[in-house]
Amino acid sequence: MKIVVTGTRGIPNIMGGVETHCEELFPRVAQHGFDVTVIRRSNYVKDALAEWKGVKLMTIASPKKKSLEAIIHTFRAINAAKRLGADVLHVHAIGPALLVPYAKLLGMRVVFTHHGPDYDRDKWGFVAKTALKMGERMGCMFADDVIVISNVIKELIAQKYGRTKNVHLIYNGVSEPEICDYPDYFKELGIEKGNYVLGMCRFVPEKNLHHLVKAFVKWKKTHEDSDVKLVLAGDTDFEDSYSLGLKEMARKNGVVLTGFIKGKKLHSLLTHCKCYCLPSSHEGLPIALLEAMSYSVKVVVSDIPANLEVGLSKDDYFPCGDVDELSRKLGKIIEQPLQHIDYDMSKYDWSKIAQQVTDIYKKYEK
């Protein structure tokens, strides 16, 4: 059975929540005996791979302009999927879902994964927000099956579109942690094990990393003798005034910037951080938070619905946008001995998630 995937920038080692989701999910789907092709956007691909972990890779040109790249690439990807004879087209995210009706007109079976209401993101203007809302509507109304990654999204689409049939709640997942040391990397960054706060995400406005920097600096002003540091791991796809301003703010305040990292570098940072912080105003179900939890790391996150759904203790949340309260919470964690928390991660098992997704595909076996 042939599955073709679009809506992602691509895999492997490409920054983004949808990209991490697809990187973890589809090799496992391929292990179930499915013929899986992921269609990638050329401007993000830095390799010449034709296959990776049993997943076929097809790279198609797309404009590197955030307002156009998703829709143009998805149009080209749907046409390619038709030529490949896809039994199921799996579309990820609400922007690409704008073209679900086009895929249906071509006679294709479509599964749509709703990763979150992206029109709530601060980076989009009125026209883009309108297009994203229309994409959500088209995906929810015309896809054969809809996968949602949180109950918040499930309730949203039931309320907005009356879509309750063939809607499947399948959470984002997280891999087994790779506990490791990387002394040379820590020396390069100028940090010590257990002596830094970690922020790990894309440098976009809705992640509110500027709030994290301000909160940490506020605490630091009253603890100038402390050698605890703030580390921001990540970058942005499109350098803009926000990302440039964030990096400048970070440098001026002695924040450690790692850039986009994966593998041993990231695993070592997760293994040894004092705590992980995600102050965002918008999420679907944050894989970065789940990753931190898988390392038994103490976390402090904003009280938005997607983060609340994870079900952390009340003390792990702070009011979104409240820099003073975030500073207080960070300070409390920093000033305590290093903590490790035994979170229940059972519902975020990628193997179980892959089984749930393949059960949907099997409905369309000829």
Can you give the pTM of this predicted structure? 0.86
d(CA 75, CA 57) in angstroms, rounded, equals 17
Do residues 303 and 317 make contact, with C-beta atoms less than 8 angstroms apart? yes
d(CA 16, CA 234) in angstroms, rounded, equals 10
Domains of the chain, CATH where assigned: 2-173+349-364 (3.40.50.2000), 183-345 (3.40.50.2000)
Taking the CA atoms of 41, 285, 347 and 363 in sequence, report the sign of the dihedral they define.
negative
Q: In what order do the strands lie in the sheet with 35-41?
A: 51-52, 55-60, 35-41, 2-6, 88-92, 110-114, 145-148, 167-169
Question: 85-111, pLDDT tens digit by residue?
Answer: 999 999 999 999 999 999 999 999 999
Taken as a whole, the chain contains a residue count of 366
Question: 261-282, pLDDT tens digit by residue?
Answer: 989 999 999 999 999 999 999 8
Structure tokens at 160: 């907005």
Do residues 91 and 112 make contact, with C-beta atoms less than 8 angstroms apart? yes
d(CA 15, CA 19) in angstroms, rounded, equals 6
Residue 125's pLDDT band (cuts 50, 70, 90)? confident
d(CA 240, CA 126) in angstroms, rounded, equals 18
Residue 122's pLDDT band (cuts 50, 70, 90)? low
